[in-house]
Amino acid sequence: MMPRKDMFVNLIIMVFVYVSAILDCGESSYSGEGGYRDEMRRLALVKATHIIRNGVSPSPSHSTPQVSQRSRVHHVTEYGADPTGRLDSTEALQQALSDAFGSHVDAHLMEGVADLGGAELHLDGGTYKISHSLRLPNISGGNFMIHGGSLRASDDFPTNRHLIELWSSSTSLLYEDITLKDLMINSNFRGGGISVINSLRTTIDNCYVTRFTTNGILIEGGHETYIRNSFIGQHINVGGDRREKDFSGIGINIKGNDNAVTDVVIFSASIGIMISGQANMLTGVHCYNKATQWGGSGVYIRAPGLTQTRIANCYFDFTGVVAEDPVQLHITGSFFLGNAFVMIKSLAGVVCGVNIVDNMFSGDYTGVKIVQLDQSNGPFKTIEEVIVDRNTVRGMVRKSTVARGSVWRNGTRWTVDFSKVLLFPNLIKNVQYTLHAGDAFPSHTLRNVSGNRVTVESEKPISATLHVSVDQSMVGYI
Ligand SMILES: *[C@@H]1O[C@H](CO)[C@@H](O)[C@H](O)[C@H]1NC(C)=O
Ligand SMILES: *[C@@H]1O[C@H](CO)[C@@H](O)[C@H](O)[C@H]1NC(C)=O
Ligand SMILES: *[C@@H]1O[C@H](CO)[C@@H](O)[C@H](O)[C@H]1NC(C)=O
């Protein structure tokens, strides 16, 4: 339990970090605009509201604490749910859920969030048909788990909802430490799988989410939803599916901060993971949801101007990564197969603090570049600390922000052309060169770096080799 004073301090530090990040990079394009500031303000408000709320409302009034001899494991079959999936079990499940929230121990997690003492909604290994969302009760609760069975949407399930919903309608946080574990979630092509809205520290573990039309999993607001060891796909297949061009929906839609997706496979959806919040982390994710050639994306990062996303040790299988105006994006240790590439898309022309390093790219020798720029909305104008380097490339075209080259000539001009390898056109921020002329001591100078071509000229003709290294990122301490 974090003391309230610390929360305030953390909050102030967070806001400070975000604001300084905005000011450092792309100031002209983003500092005046509402979007990210608003989002930060909203987040600050959520937290502040919560802190204030804690002061005035200690616990929900209508769930009086009681010491019960009964087990806190609520078996849904004991509530009359039909584990064969033939009859509708919505009401039984909702009742069991309501009972699980009905008694809590005399303690809380975050102040204002009642501790349900490890209560469980146990699905008894059954498959249950439901016609409405299994929505957590509109009272606070935490330390609770739903697990051990399958849920399937009925043919009249509302298409704008999710099978399981953690949904705090106000900005105050109702749920903390809710675990959804060992579940098969079948949306029956009617809406989404799981939504986690304004919730704290939610775990989704070992879940198989399928046949969704909107989101497999939606995270909105809140804090620290951890999705791990799960399989998410609209259509059940193992790749090369003939319906692939029609795959739709989003595997995991993250509209919040500080979430993590770890060891997850997204095997069918138009977008594997959509990220429109900050400080999210993906590791060990395998995306083969919809190939780039069919218009799909493995990971789509729509957090322009303030991205703060880390992607490590992931596997992009015929589908890649798209990032809009990224500011602080780290892609490393990942494997891009089948011409999969990283697309950096310009909105206001800002790209800052981007590392694409130490990845493997493999393609079919048809000339696909490993990192590409989409400048259809205008060219990148603010380019700072972008490092694309040390990737291993087979069957694709290497792109890099640092490069080295040499040329021998007998004459007065030497030119090394970096235009094919450098990522940004006509941008060299730093050059180092050596003119190696054997025993001679020629006078020479750097003449020209435009068009990513470095030209050195000597006063008198001489036989010499020019060695050049260039950098588009200008990372240094001066
Ligand atoms: C949930 O409860 C709060 C406070 O008790 C109330 O304001 C809100 O309308 C309720 N929401 C729903 C969807 O019932
Ligand atoms: C370089 O060119 C000059 C004159 O054209 C010639 O005399 C000289 O032998 C050349 N040196 C080499 C190494 O080719
Ligand atoms: C530098 O090279 C470009 C072509 O790459 C040329 O247009 C320009 O005139 C050159 N500038 C100088 C100073 O030689």
Mean pLDDT (whole number) for 66-94: 89
Q: Cβ distance 108 to 115 under 8 Å? A: yes
Residues 124 and 49 in one domain: no
d(CA 418, ligand 3 centre) in Å? 15
Residue 351: its pLDDT value, please? Answer: 97
Query: Does residue 347 sit within a domain?
Result: no
Cα 294 vs. chain centroid, distance in angstroms? 21
Residues 225 and 77 in one domain: yes
Q: Which of 233, 258, 281 lies at the terminal end of a domain, its last residue?
A: 233
Does residue 462 register a pLDDT over 80?
yes
Q: Which band of pLDDT confidence, cut at 50, 70 and 90, is reported for residue 68?
A: very low
What residue has token string 């439901």? 130
Nearest 10 degrees: Cα torsion 401, 406, 411, 415: -20
Q: Which band of pLDDT confidence, cut at 50, 70 and 90, is reported for residue 169?
A: confident
pLDDT per residue over 232-289, tens digit each?
999 999 988 999 999 999 999 999 999 999 999 999 999 999 999 999 999 999 999 9
Residues 188 and 218 in one domain: yes
Residues 110 and 33 in one domain: no
Query: Domain containing 442: what range?
Result: 402-471
Q: Which band of pLDDT confidence, cut at 50, 70 and 90, is reported for residue 58?
A: very low
What residue has token string 């791990």? 228
Residues 148 and 27 in one domain: no
Mean pLDDT (whole number) for 76-97: 97
Q: Using CB atoms within 10 A of its CB, is residue 384 exposed (0-12), middle (13-18) or buried (19+)?
A: middle
Q: Cβ distance 288 to 310 under 8 Å? A: no
Query: Does residue 431 sit within a domain?
Result: yes
Residues 45 and 131 in one domain: no
The protein residue whose alpha carbon is closest to atom 7 in ligand 3 is: 450
Task: Give the binding-site residues of ligand 3, using a 6 Å CB cut-off.
Answer: 447-448, 450-451, 453
Residue 43: its pLDDT value, please? Answer: 54
Q: Which band of pLDDT confidence, cut at 50, 70 and 90, is reported for residue 64?
A: very low
Residue 27 is inside which H or E element, if any? helix 27-30
Q: Using CB atoms within 10 A of its CB, is residue 453 exposed (0-12), middle (13-18) or buried (19+)?
A: middle
Residues 49 and 75 in one domain: no
Write the CA distances from 187 to 61, 95, 156, 160, integer angstroms: 35, 21, 11, 11
Residue 173: its pLDDT value, please? Answer: 80
Residues 115 and 220 in one domain: yes
Residue 30: its pLDDT value, please? Answer: 66
Q: Is 187 left (phi over 0), alpha (psi -120 to 50) or beta?
A: alpha
**30-39, 66-75, 246-255: range with highest mean pLDDT:** 246-255
Q: Cβ distance 329 to 355 under 8 Å? A: yes
Query: Does residue 442 sit within a domain?
Result: yes
Residues 192 and 126 in one domain: yes
Mean pLDDT (whole number) for 195-218: 97
Q: Cβ distance 194 to 218 under 8 Å? A: yes
Mean pLDDT (whole number) for 11-16: 39
Cα 280 vs. chain centroid, distance in angstroms? 5
Dihedral pair phi/psi, residue 394, rounded to 5°: -130, 125
Query: Does residue 308 sit within a domain?
Result: no
Write the CA distances from 339 to 105, 301, 421, 477, integer angstroms: 55, 19, 17, 36
CA distance 158 to 135: 13
Residue 172: its pLDDT value, please? Answer: 74
Does residue 130 register a pLDDT over 90?
yes
Q: Look up residue 161 and give its DSSP letter.
A: S
CA distance 282 to 263: 8
Query: Does residue 177 sit within a domain?
Result: yes
Does residue 338 register a pLDDT over 90?
yes
Does residue 66 register a pLDDT over 60?
no
Residue 272 is inside which H or E element, if any? strand 271-275
Mean pLDDT (whole number) for 314-318: 98
Does residue 5 register a pLDDT over 60?
no
Query: Does residue 117 sit within a domain?
Result: yes
Percent of the chain with pLDDT over 90: 81
The protein residue whose alpha carbon is closest to atom 10 in ligand 3 is: 448
Residue 63: its pLDDT value, please? Answer: 34
Q: Which band of pLDDT confidence, cut at 50, 70 and 90, is reported for residue 19?
A: very low
d(CA 344, ligand 3 centre) in Å? 28
Residue 4: its pLDDT value, please? Answer: 42
For CA atoms 22, 27, 31, 33, give the dihedral sign: negative
Q: Cβ distance 329 to 359 under 8 Å? A: no
Q: Cβ distance 464 to 440 under 8 Å? A: yes
CA distance 180 to 232: 14
Q: Which band of pLDDT confidence, cut at 50, 70 and 90, is reported for residue 2?
A: very low
Q: Is the CB of 408 under 6 A from ligand 2?
A: no
Q: Is 319 left (phi over 0), alpha (psi -120 to 50) or beta?
A: beta
What atom of ligand 1 comes closest to residue 60's alpha carbon? 5
d(CA 168, ligand 1 centre) in Å? 9
3-state secondary structure of 98: helix
Q: Which of 198, 233, 268 lies at the terminal end of a domain, its last residue?
A: 233
Task: Look at 101-105, 228-232, 366-370, 422-426 and tell me which has the smallest mean pLDDT.
Answer: 101-105
* Strand-pair category, 127-130 with 134-135: unpaired
3-state secondary structure of 138: coil
Mean pLDDT (whole number) for 119-142: 96
Q: Look up residue 305 and give its DSSP letter.
A: T
Rounded to a whole number, what is the distance in angstroms from the first to the last CA of the chain? 43
What atom of ligand 3 comes closest to residue 451's alpha carbon? 5
Which residue has better confidence, 349 or 4?
Answer: 349
Residues 45 and 76 in one domain: no
CA distance 137 to 344: 42
Residues 96 and 192 in one domain: yes
pTM, rounded to two decimals: 0.87
Mean pLDDT (whole number) for 97-104: 92
The protein residue whose alpha carbon is closest to atom 14 in ligand 1 is: 138
Q: Which band of pLDDT confidence, cut at 50, 70 and 90, is reported for residue 476?
A: low
Query: Does residue 378 sit within a domain?
Result: no
Task: Write down the mean pLDDT value for the chain.
Answer: 89
Q: Look up residue 369 and give its DSSP letter.
A: B
Structure tokens at 271: 């977008």
Structure tokens at 256: 């919040």
What atom of ligand 1 comes closest to residue 138's alpha carbon? 1
d(CA 78, ligand 3 centre) in Å? 82
The CATH code of the domain that includes 105 is: 2.160.20.10
Residues 21 and 123 in one domain: no
What is the tally of structural domains in the chain?
3
The protein residue whose alpha carbon is closest to atom 2 in ligand 2 is: 410
Mean pLDDT (whole number) for 330-345: 98
Q: Which of 218, 233, 248 lies at the terminal end of a domain, its last residue?
A: 233
Query: Does residue 155 sit within a domain?
Result: yes
